[in-house]
A and B are shown apart, each in its own frame.
Chain A
Amino acid sequence: MASVMPAPSQSRLFLSGNEAVARAVWESGCKVAAAYPGTPSTEMLEVLSTYPDIYTEWSVNEKVSLEVAIGAAFAGSRAFCAMKHVGMNVASDALMTLTLTGVIGGLVIAIADDVGLSSSQNEQDSRFWGRFAHVPVFEPSDSQEAYEMTKLAFDFSEKHQVPVILRMTTRINHVKALVTVGERMPHDNPGGFKKDPARWVMTPAGAGRRIPLMFERDAILLAEAESSPLNVVESGSDRRVGFVASGPAWMHVREAFPAMPALKLGFSCPVPVEKIRAFAKTVERLVVVEEVEPLVEKELKAAGIACHGKDILPKQGELAPNVLKPAIARLLGEPVPENLAKPAPVFPRPPTMCVACPHLGVYYTLSQIKNLTISGDIGCYTLGAGHPWNALDTTISMGASMGIALGLDKGRGEADKDKRILAVIGDSTFLHMGMQGLLDIVYNRGNVTVLLLDNRAVGMTGGQPDPGSGRDIHGEPAPRVDFAKLVEALGVKKERIHVVDPYQLPVLFKTIREEIKVPEVSVIITDQPCVLIDDYKKQKPYAVIDEKCTGCGNCVEVGCPAIHVTRREKAVKPSGKEVELQFVRIETSVCTGCGLCVQPCAPEAIVHADPRQPMRLVKH
C-alpha cells in the first residue's frame, strides 16, 4: 500500500479497485475524505490516509462520514466518502436531503456492494440509491475504469452541483489490475463557504422550493447519460444476442461472448433509454446483464423495449461466464454445455476466531451458562453463533443487538418468562450505532445485560482504530473514549458497570452470572485488545503433556484454532454414560500464551512449551 504514494505520474501501477479510487481521489485535489471501515470498501480510506495534502478520517459511522464530506463540499472543497452497501442505509438520511441542496465542491460517494456475500449480512444493490435520491451512478468494470470514473465523477459533480455515486462491487474493489495513473491537480477553492439559507437550510418551505430543481436536474442528467462516452457500444458479428451490461458483469460478458455486440453502461443512472433503444434495433434479442437487481431491465421494459434479464439469469450473486454461457445457450435453443468440472466434497473451512482472541473467553463462558437469549451484533464476535460455542441468537445490523435485546425483553412470551436477555456488542459497533440503543434500554427500563467487548479496534476489517482505540487513522495518538464513563452517562447505574479481563474466566463467569440475575440494565465491559493490533502482547506459548491429557475435551470447548484433537476414544463414565474422549495437542508455533485453555483443564496437562521443541505444523 505504501508503495502507491510516491509513484510518479504516467506510470502503470498494479492496483486494486480500492487503491485505484484512492489514487484518483488524491489526484483530483480532494481535500476531505471520510469513511467507516467495511468490507469490501475499507482500503479506499486506508490507502488515501497514506497520501499527503488530504485530510482523512475514520468516522464513527457512515452517516457521520457522509456528513463530514457534505460539510467540506458545502465549504467549496472536493470531498470523498466511501462505504459498504449497508453503510448507505445508515447514511441515506443525509443523502436524501443532500440531493436537494446539491454541492459546491465535487462530492463523490463510493459504495461497495458485496455481490456474492463474501463478508456481509445481506446483498443489496446500491444502484437503487441513484433512483431514490435522483443522483447519477457511475459503474466501473475494473481498476482502470474505477480510477478514470472517479476523476470524471468529481468534474461531473461540480458541473451539475450534484453528488455522484461510484457504485463498485467486491469484484471491482478487490481485483488488482494495471492502472495508468497521473498527477495530483490542486483544486482551487477561493470562495469558501457562502451563506445561503434558502439552499443550505432545508426547512419544509426551502426544501419544497428545491424539489422542482431536482426534477429539472433529472432531465439534464438523462441528457448527459444519453451522450456520455461512458456508455459505449462494442460491435460484434453475431447479432443473435446483444447485451447491456455494467460493472464486473461487463467484463464477464466480453469474456464469454466476444463475437456478440454489447452496450456498456458506465453511467448507468439515469438509464440512457434512447441509446439502448437504438442499440436494441441492431440485434435480434436484447439481454440485460446486471448485478444484482433487475433495475435497468425493468426501466427498459417500462419504456417499451423488449429484453431478457432476470427471466434467464440468477437474481443473486455474480454473473460470471460460467453462469452466463448456459443461460444464453438455453435462450438460443443450443445444447447447454455440460458442467463436467464438479467440485470434490471437502469439509467447509469457515472463518474462525483468531488464536488467543479475547472473544474466545467470552463465548466459552456464555456457552456454559444456560437459559440465555443472546442478541448479537456485527463484527468478529458474530462468529460466536458458530461451533463450538453456539452462543449468539440474532444478528441483523450495526448496533441492533441493543434494540433487539430490549424487544426480546418487552415482547417475551410465557415460555420465556425466566429467560435472561443478554446483548453482545463490540466497541466500534457500540460507538457506530449501539449507544442510542443502550440509551433506549436505560430510558425504557429494560432488563438486559450488555456485554461490551472492547478490543480497541474494528477487528473484522483488519484492526482499524476507532474512538475507543486512542489512535487515529494515521496511528497517531487521539482522544480515547472511556466506555465505563460513557455508559454511566447514558444512565447505567455505576454499580451495574463492570470492567473485566476476558482472559480471567472465573471472574467473567461470576460477573455475568450475577448481573443476569439483576432485573435492570447492566454493562460488562471486557478490556483486552484485538490480537491483530500492536496493543496485543504475545506471551509464552503452551503445549500439552500427552501423558496427563485425560481427553475431557474442556479445552476444545474454548474454540481456539491452535488446539487440535489428536485422537478420539469412547469411554464409559462411572455413571454408566458413554462419552467420547478427545485427546489434544496445541499448535505451539501459533499459540501466543493467552492461557484460556489452561483454565478449564482439570488435570493440569497444559504447560508452557519448551522453547526448543520443534514446531509441529504438519500433521501426518
Chain B
Amino acid sequence: MNEQNVTNILVVGIGGQGVMTATEILAQAAIALGHDVKKTEVAGMAQRGGVVSSHLRFGPKVLSPQIMPGTADLLVAFEAAEGLRWCHMLKPGGLVLLNTAHLVPPVVDLGLYDYPADPIAEIRARGFEVRAFDAMKIALELGDVRLGNTVMLGAMADHLPFPAETLLDAIVKRFAARKPQMVELNRQAFEAGRAAEKAAAQAKEEVTA
C-alpha cells in the first residue's frame, strides 16, 4: 500500500487463461468490503494468445486505474515468463505468486526467440520473492483445467488486506449464480491453491535455512 492507502495488484498471463475473470472476482471481493475499485486491462487482442495484464487498484478513493512500474503490492503470474516480463511492476522486494507452467508462443516454436531458461531464478535475481507452484497440475488433479484461476485466487488469499473468506465468498457467489454444480469444486481449488502457496513459502524458508 501507499500514501493514498490504495492496494495495487497486478495479475498477468496470456489470453484464455482466466486472468480477467480472476481479477474480476478479486474486484468483487474488494467492492463487497466497501472499497472504491478500478480495474484495467492491457489486453490488445488477448483472445489471440497475446499477453494479458490486469491491473486492480482498490482503497478509499482510486484515481488513475493504472499501476505504475515499481508500485505493485503483489504480482500474480499465471505463466512463468509472464512473471518475469512484469516483475518490474512490483515495489522493491515485492512478492510474485507464480504458476510454473511454461506456455510457449509460436514465435519461440519458430525459433525466432528463446524461452527464458529459468524465469523464476531471473525474477529472484532482481530481488523479488517468488512462490511458485504448478496451478495447472492442481487444477487437473481436481478434474478441470479451468479451475486454474481459482487455484491462483486461493494462492493470493493470504496476501490480501482482507480475510481469505471474503475472497472465497466472492468466488462462491459468482459460481452459485452461474454454475451451482461448480461451487464445491471451486471451493476445493481455492483451498488447494492456498495450500500450494503455503507449501511454496515453506519450501523457500527451508532452502534459505
Contact = CB atoms under 8 A, between A and B. Distances in A.
A176 B38 contact: yes
Contacts of A320: 64, 66, 68
Interface of A is mostly: loop
Interface of B is mostly: mixed
14 contacts: A174-B43, A252-B63, A254-B64, A320-B64, A340-B70, A342-B88, A351-B44, A352-B50, A353-B48, A354-B49, A561-B49, A618-B137, A619-B102, A620-B102
A354 B64 contact: no
Given A255-B64, A380-B48, A388 B106 contact: yes
Interface in B70-122: 70, 81-82, 84-89, 92, 100-116, 122
B14 interface: yes
Contacts of B113: 347-348
A568 interface: yes
Contacts of A252: 63-64, 66
Contact of A251 (B15, B64, B88, B116): B64
Interface string A334-378: 000001111110111111111000000000000000000000000
Interface in A357-415: 380, 383, 387-388
Contacts, number: 169
Interface residues on A, range: 35 or more
A383 B70 contact: no
B50 A349 contact: yes
Interface of A: 12, 14, 39, 117-119, 142, 171, 174-178, 248, 251-252, 254-256, 318, 320-322, 339-344, 346-354, 380, 383, 387-388, 460, 462, 532, 556, 559, 561, 563-565, 568, 580, 582, 589, 614-615, 617-620
Nearest to A353: B48
A255 B63 contact: yes
Contacts of A14: 27-28, 31, 37, 39
A579 to B, nearest CB: 12
B106 A387 contact: yes
Given A252-B63, A351-B50, A352-B48, 15 more contacts: A14-B27, A171-B40, A176-B27, A176-B40, A320-B64, A321-B66, A339-B69, A339-B70, A344-B85, A344-B122, A346-B82, A347-B115, A349-B82, A556-B110, A618-B137
Contacts of B51: 349
Interface of B: 14-15, 24, 27-28, 31, 36-51, 62-66, 68-70, 81-82, 84-89, 92, 100-116, 122-123, 126, 134, 136-137, 140, 145
Contact of A352 (B101, B105, B122): B105
Contact of A347 (B37, B45, B86, B107): B107
